[in-house]
Amino acid sequence: MTLSTVLLAFALMLMLEGIVPFLMPAVWRETFRRLLNLSNGQIRFIGLLSVLLGTALLSVLSF
């Protein structure tokens, strides 16, 4: 994996992360309000699921 590939992936992530606040700022704000009510364990679980799904997707796409 080259540096340009990593930067390309980072740029794509930034673009995807920016879609919801750009198109639906009220939804984005409400989502963060709901996140504040979650426990640390629940947030960690969401993070773990995200990592596992991303890893699975990368492994499927790289074959």
Model confidence pLDDT, tens digit, residues 6-37: 999 999 999 999 999 999 999 999 999 999 99
The amino acid at residue 1 is M
As a whole number of angstroms, the longest Cα–Cα distance in the chain is 40
Task: Name the band, by pLDDT with cuts 50, 70 and 90, for residue 60.
Answer: very high
The predicted model scores a pTM of: 0.71
Query: CA dihedral defined by 7, 11, 16, 21, rounded to 10 degrees?
Result: 130
pLDDT given for residue 61 in this prediction: 86
